[in-house]
Chains A and B, each alone.
Chain A
Amino acid sequence: MGAATSCHSVASAPDPALGATYRTVAVVGPPNSGKTTLFNRLTRLRQKVGNFPGVTVEHHTGYIRDADGQEVALIDLPGVYSLTPKSEDEKVAVDVLTGQMPGMPRPDAVIVVLNSTNLHSHLVLAARVIALGIPTLVLLNMADELRKQGGHVDVLSLARQLGTPVALVSATTGEGIVAVQNFLSAAATSPDPVELPVVGSTRGYREWAVRVGENAGYRRPATPVWTQRLDAIFLHRIWGPVVFAVVVIGVFQTIFAVGQPLSNLLQRFLDVTGAQLGARLPQGIFNSLVINGVWKGTGSVLVFLPQILLLFLVIGILEDSGYLSRAAVIADRTMSRAGLNGKSFIPLLSAYACAVPAIMATRTIESRRDRIATILVAPFMTCSARLPVYTMVIAAFLPNRPLLGFFLGTRAVAMLGLYVLGFLMAVLTARLLKSTILRSRESPFILEMPPYRWPTLSSLGLRLVDRGKAFLYRAGTVIMLVTLLLWAATNFPMHNGKPPEVQNSVVAKLGHAIEPVIRPLGFDWKIGVGLVTSIAAREVIISTLGTLHGVDPESHATDLQAAMRRELTPAAAVALLVFFAFAMQCMSTIAVVRRETNGWKWPALQFGYMTIVAYVSAFATYHIAGHFFR
């Protein structure tokens, strides 16, 4: 029973005889138990969030110092309900816990994070983890909610029954978190369970959990009043879909009404600093490289940072507040008509931010055919990299007029239309796939409704920092590289040490070579070059056009939007938008699809299909729209 005494916030002193401290500690728990909030709180100052490049690994590692100042690696595992791996993400958790994950040592200890407001279901997982025989700390999270809603549990009694230290904590407020540090610096003690179900069905486990809970005087809290009140509206037969529509429209309007002015401000800042920098550097080839190549090229992509951060902020709020699960219920009917698993909804919704995490999120889908179908349609959802392209083209061609007061402008409607277009093509493709090569029995839609919570600033902030870094990293690497190559292609071959006229440069020759292919879509060679470079990443077309026009003597002093207006007919502009809505212009997505499907077959098929769809649709759009804009 030695372990039980250390359950309290004040841990027993480390026993030097047993001395071994933990190096690697896994954090495991059911989905929505506040694992990641805890993880972020613990590792806040020394955050090292990043995806492991392994085959199926998707977990985060962070570092924390224990009470003695020793460094401990914390592994944040995907949320699991049980340890019988049904889906890919559960398999990751089980493999890490049992030491079967390649390149990852078996954890020295486990922290099980449970939701204290739903102990009966969650104790079952604790029992299964404890049965692994690794030193375990059980954290009953959301202590503040438990108390507020009139729940109760005797931590000491629970610790006695489980044979492991137990602490009541709140990852949101930080209450009781010190128990983790104490646990980490305490001596290694394997769990010594008094009474654990040795073998048993889920039902047997559950009966055990109820008994343990009763012995510990567990009183389940009442369902939060606010969750009830909000769901009475958000899941109302009539108001539910209305709220859903308002939320979706609100998201896009926010990105435009708030994001656009911020982007403009950033653009002005970059213009002014670029001009100052240009004046200080000596004139010549180097000046041109820095200003026209690097500064203008990457700068034209960088200005979209505010909008991308806003998008992630809004999606983060929806996710953390718990509304996203309700939205899934509202949207499920549409999803089932597309023949898609209801579970595909959340990956597809996150594909609105970026297809890469979305494709990784499909690991929660048990059926392989459904999973492949979801992976194949995910890139049709309008990801944040399309946003710069859409914004620039729409802003260039469509004057913003209010349609419904401040709430809805013409540009937001155009944007919304493009989002709908991508979604419709995803549905169409899903239907096509599910009725041909990926036919399967529908797998069930089972989704837990978490109580509503206020999103915490730290959780939102960390996500924004993470996404912002990823975007800047891309701007600094892929986009910079493409920009430099492009600059070189526009400045060579030189004549007497001077760069050529743009129409005599290498890039113009390349552009003119592909022009016959894209001419039927109404695009000129500059757009053509942009289409090629944007295979690296969609937003690269902006920096490409920025570089091409930066060196173009005619449009030298004008901004990109004016240049676009001169270059494209309105019909061709619409065709360009349609092309971008459907084409798979993203190396990262191709790479992640290859990784997740273990081969080139699916990404090749997907790239071919999407390119053909994009080309044919853009062609049709150009010719049909041409009749309207005459």
Chain B
Amino acid sequence: MIFNFIFGRPKKERSRRGSALADLRLGERAILAGMELSTPIAEHLMNLGFIPGLEVTVARSGPGGDPRVYRVEGTEVAMRRELSRHIQVELLGAPAFGD
């Protein structure tokens, strides 16, 4: 803890595959892969359209980068990083333009 505090946290490797929704940058797109969330929360997200296999875009960001708004099939949903950290995605590549 103290070591990290003084020397800064070790930089997390952003792997291009199998990263979390929270790791995406604003405007980036990815494919939803899975969730490590309790059943009611996962159910709720799926009811809103967050179904594995669908494309997700980081659409907007609140002040300070948290919470952020994610878009799936035209539905936009805001959530905090503490949640989007537990949603796995596979990256699609270049940021979407004109969106």
Contacts and interface: CB of A to CB of B under 8 A. Distances in A.
Q: Contact residue range for chain A?
A: 35 or more
B67 A445 contact: yes
A446 B52 contact: no
A329 B80 CA distance: 9
A329 B78 contact: yes
Contacts of A444: 41, 79-80, 82-83
Q: Contact residue range for chain B?
A: 20 to 34
B36 interface: no
Contact of B74 (A220, A231, A366): A220
B63 A81 contact: no
Interface in A169-227: 202-203, 206, 220-223
Closest 7 CB pairs of A and B: A235-B60, A449-B76, A81-B47, A202-B46, A121-B49, A447-B78, A329-B62
Nearest to B62: A329
Given A202-B43, A444-B41, A445-B67, A336 B80 contact: yes
A503 interface: no
A125 B78 CA distance: 21
Interface of B: 40-41, 43-49, 51-52, 59-67, 69, 71, 73-80, 82-83, 99
A332 B63 CA distance: 9
Contacts of B75: 118, 121, 448
Interface string A358-388: 0000000010000000000000000000000
A47 interface: no
Contacts of A446: 41, 44-45, 48, 77-79, 83
A121 B79 contact: no
A588 to B, nearest CB: 32
A117 B79 contact: no
B40 A86 contact: yes
Contact of A448 (B43, B60, B76): B76
A366 B73 CA distance: 26
B63 A448 contact: no
Contacts of A223: 71, 74, 76
A373 B83 CA distance: 22
B83 A445 contact: yes
A78 to B, nearest CB: 15
Nearest to A149: B74
Given A206-B51, A333-B62, 20 more contacts: A117-B74, A118-B73, A120-B73, A121-B48, A121-B49, A121-B73, A203-B51, A220-B73, A223-B76, A237-B63, A240-B62, A330-B62, A333-B63, A333-B67, A342-B80, A444-B83, A445-B79, A446-B45, A447-B79, A448-B48
